[in-house]
């Protein structure tokens, strides 16, 4: 086996293995995750090492905004994709870019998010979307510095409730990105390739 193959093999495996025995309640959660995603995800199995973390992570995921009665699904998808790209999480990029066309995001818009085209090249982003993407980029930097013009534009375009939804969506993706990368979980294959 060449050194490149070893690196590829290691990239397909998390740092740790799931526990051999998983309690019944967590097995139910894993089953729900499988039903929702259509994948037998490794993350919930790894979280079974600490049931409190598994349960609280599941609650967080189940209660975040998904666009039904909050902000529109396209905007939330843009937030999830931009956050995933900004924090460079291959698993998150793979999962959050999956089926992006379903939410009305074009290939050209995805290229802008990936930095392959300039925003000025794509005129289809609305003022709200541009304000949101700018907000996400600032919120995912370290250290976080939020220029007044960014927050002012956000306030002009969104209600206080919507701003909380945007901030919590960014934080939720960032939480998963840090947790997943901290455990070494590779992409799960939602897309044919995870293209950074």
Region 121-143: what's the mean pLDDT?
90
Q: What is the 3-state secondary structure (H, E, C) of 136-149?
A: HHHHCCCCCCCCHH
> Which residue is listed with tokens 């590779």?
186
Residue 100 has pLDDT above 80, yes or no: yes
Where in the chain do CATH 1.20.1290.10 domains reside? 73-183
Region 113-135: what's the mean pLDDT?
83
192 by Cβ neighbours in 10 Å (0-12 / 13-18 / 19+) ranks as exposed
Q: Report residue 153 CA to chain centroid gap.
A: 24
Q: Tens of pLDDT along 33-42?
A: 899 888 899 9
Q: Is 32 helix (H, G, I), strand (E, B) or coil?
A: helix
Query: Percentage of residues in the chain with pLDDT exceeding 90?
Result: 70
Structure confidence at residue 22 (pLDDT): 95
Structure confidence at residue 118 (pLDDT): 67
Give the CA dihedral 51, 53, 56, 61, nearest 10 degrees: -110
Residue 1 has pLDDT above 50, yes or no: no
**What mean pLDDT, rounded, does the chain reach?**
87
Tokens of 91: 């698993």
Does the bond joining 143 to the residue before it have cis omega, within 30 degrees of 0?
Answer: yes
Q: Tens of pLDDT along 19-76?
A: 999 999 999 999 998 998 888 999 999 999 999 999 999 999 888 877 667 789 999 9
Tokens of 173: 């993706």
Cα(189)–Cα(12) distance, integer angstroms: 11
Structure confidence at residue 12 (pLDDT): 67
Region 116-120: what's the mean pLDDT?
66
Structure confidence at residue 70 (pLDDT): 73
Structure confidence at residue 124 (pLDDT): 83
CATH no. of 73-183: 1.20.1290.10
Cα(175)–Cα(177) distance, integer angstroms: 5
């Amino acid at each position: 086996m060449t050194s490149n193959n070893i690196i590829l093999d290691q990239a397909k495996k998390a740092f740790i293995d799931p526990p051999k025995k998983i309690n019944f309640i967590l097995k139910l959660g894993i089953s729900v995750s499988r039903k929702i995603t259509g994948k037998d995800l490794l993350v919930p199995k790894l979280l079974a090492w600490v049931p409190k973390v598994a349960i609280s992570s599941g609650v967080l995921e189940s209660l975040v905004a998904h666009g039904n009665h909050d902000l529109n699904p396209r905007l939330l998808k843009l937030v999830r994709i931009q956050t995933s790209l900004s924090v460079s999480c291959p698993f998150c990029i793979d999962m959050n870019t999956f089926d992006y066309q379903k939410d009305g995001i074009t290939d050209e818009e995805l290229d802008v998010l990936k930095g392959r085209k300039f925003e000025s090249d794509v005129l289809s982003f609305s003022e709200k979307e541009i304000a949101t993407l700018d907000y996400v980029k600032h919120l995912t930097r370290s250290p976080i510095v939020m220029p007044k013009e960014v927050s002012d534009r956000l306030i002009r375009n969104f209600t206080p409730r919507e701003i909380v939804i945007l901030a919590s969506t960014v934080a939720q993706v960032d939480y998963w990105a840090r947790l997943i990368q901290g455990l070494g979980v590779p992409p799960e294959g939602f897309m044919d390739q995870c293209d950074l």
